[in-house]
Amino acid sequence: MIMKKSSRILVALALLMTSTAVFADDDIVKEEFNPITTGVTSLSITPDARGASMGDQGAATDPDVNSQFWNPSKYAFAYSKAGVSISYTPWLRKLVNDIFLANLSGYWKIGSNDNQSVSASMRYFSLGEINSADDGGNSLASINPFEMAFDVGYSRKLSEKFSMGVVLRYIYSDLGYSSYSGTDQTTGASAFSADISGFLCTYPMVGRNECQWTLGFNISNIGSKVSYNGGDDPAFLPTNFKLGTAFTFPLADYHNLTLSGELNKLLVPARPRLTNYENQEAYEQALQNWKDMSSITGIFKSFNDAPGGFKEELREINFSIGAEYSYNQQFFLRGGYFSENKYKGNRKYFGLGAGFALSVIKLDAAYMIATAQNSPLDQTLRFTLTFDMDGIRNLFNK
């Protein structure tokens, strides 16, 4: 069976294998191009407009409703007692017009002293409708591949300055097509994972001004493998380590500026390539060992398995920088830059965005400008609508 729309095959392969990596024309780059492959890569897509506009980062930025994705331990430092947000991203709009990511997040601070919180989120990634046909071009059926995840989290302050959080997640992937074998996949694949995070928040004095310095980390999607093609083709989840820092200082009354930076690395072992082995037998043995490897072993293996040694390991670290200006916590301007090594995916883009908060409602928007040539990530838009549930309750209690 073949797809009637060949572009959909390319999109599905990119999402499953390399998160829409861009191949360069240079022969040397093609030879050394070795991105990390995972299953359910939609878990790595930024769901909210604020994080996207700052270069896809949020491990150490101020807490907001979408902290479940970036660093759930931030919820313990949230200013409001509860909140809910809805985000929408029309994904890969330069290639197709019906792929999207929808995300719903929320949290609620519990306890008399607001030192702890519970949170939850649900994401749904749709590849739209794909028509299939036989070799003669006769229409057979249409499929609606999708990936989804639901998670719950708990965070707590361990001191006045430090908190930690944990998230448990259920994942379901139904692509309707196996990129490993090229055969139809009639049933979806499930997996379970967990996140562990920490957040440090201090208020140093710079001159006469009280500033805010934060440091955060999040190890996400530690869990089982997801098995495609009836279990014959297991894939690692996109286990990822984020480490970020942010510094906020006042420019004047009601005017604040935040500068932030973040590093992240996939904790997934590299899939063996035939070009790195002397013969077919050695390659097949290495590939079988890779398939049989547990996800926990893979996390430790990911630090020293690159064919190019330590130099290639450094290539697997992505970085982003960002800035956010706010006026009275009501108007926001944001910008950022994300960079991935050209041998590991070559995703490079700027993020721009703005936010407006009116009473208990906040609207954020982000726009992506790719700097890598012919990047399908170019001109990606995100929208996030946030509701301050604590503020809504206070309105009704007046």
Q: What are the Cα distances from residue 145, in Å, to 9, 186, 230?
A: 11, 11, 16
57 closest CA partner among 198, 239, 243: 243
pLDDT attached to residue 265:
96
pLDDT of residue 97: 78
The per-residue pLDDT for 178 is: 45
Give the sheet arrangement for strand 139-143, strand by strand.
Answer: 2-3, 130-133, 139-143
- Report the domain count for the chain: 1
Give the span between the Cα atoms of 235 and 297, in whole angstroms: 14
Q: What is the CATH number of the domain that holds 169?
A: 2.40.160.40
pLDDT tens, residue by residue, 40-56: 989 999 999 999 999 99
Whole-number Cα distances in Å, 116 to 110, 220, 339: 6, 20, 34
Tokens of 290: 């890779």
Which residues in the chain come in under a pLDDT of 50? Answer: 1-24, 178-185
> Please, how many CA atoms are within 13 Å of residue 289, restricted to the half-sphere of its CB?
13
Q: For the segment 143-186, what is each residue's pLDDT rounded down to a tens digit? A: 788 999 999 999 999 999 999 999 999 999 887 654 433 444 45
Domain ranges, residue 103: 2-397
The whole-number pLDDT of residue 288 equals 87
**What does each C-alpha distance from 377 to 47, 59, 92, 325, 348 come to in angstroms?**
14, 22, 6, 25, 9
